[in-house]
Amino acid sequence: MSTWHCIQQCGACCYLEPTERPGLEEYLSPQELELYLDMVGEEGWCVNFDHATRECRIYQNRPRFCYVEPDVFQEMYGVEPEELSDFATNCCREQIEDVYGKHSLEMQRFNREIG
């Protein structure tokens, strides 16, 4: 398996519908949970997600919980740094399938780029 990396113009992770992400309060601080819920917009999508370009409008200033980095994932989910690539790959596949579908172009692109 290749090393995980974000594929551009996907945005599956920007679908924030809280009812589809149980346990948010277990890994987000009260302030982060409030921010997360404030970011949920129309039909469950992040208010900062540009649907036309499929890019984040605040990418350079996005909240900690939007980062896929070893220290963030270790602190939030207990994922060891050496497990991050596999963990993130599995999370992305699950999220892309839920948002766009198992045979979607986004899933095909992800599988082609990640392996």
Read off the pLDDT of each residue in 26-41 and give the average, rounded to a whole number: 96
**What would the pLDDT profile of 56-97 be if each residue is shown by its tens digit?**
999 999 999 999 999 999 999 999 999 999 999 999 999 999
- Cα–Cα–Cα angle for 16, 3, 110, nearest 5°? 50
Residue 5 lies in a domain: no
Between CA 26 and CA 11 the distance in angstroms is: 24
Residue 83 lies in a domain: yes
Percent of the chain with pLDDT over 70: 98
Residue 24 lies in a domain: yes
Residue 1 has pLDDT above 60, yes or no: no
Residue 44 lies in a domain: yes
Between CA 47 and CA 44 the distance in angstroms is: 9
Between CA 67 and CA 94 the distance in angstroms is: 17
Residue 66 lies in a domain: yes
2 falls in which pLDDT band (50, 70, 90)?
low
Residue 61 lies in a domain: yes
Q: Which domain holds residue 46?
A: 12-114
Please, what is the average pLDDT of the chain?
A: 94
Query: Cβ distance 10 to 96 under 8 Å?
Result: yes
Residue 16 lies in a domain: yes
- Cα–Cα–Cα angle for 106, 110, 102, nearest 5°? 55
Structural domains of the chain, count: 1
Phi and psi of 17, rounded to 5°?
-40, 110
Between CA 11 and CA 98 the distance in angstroms is: 12
Between CA 99 and CA 53 the distance in angstroms is: 17
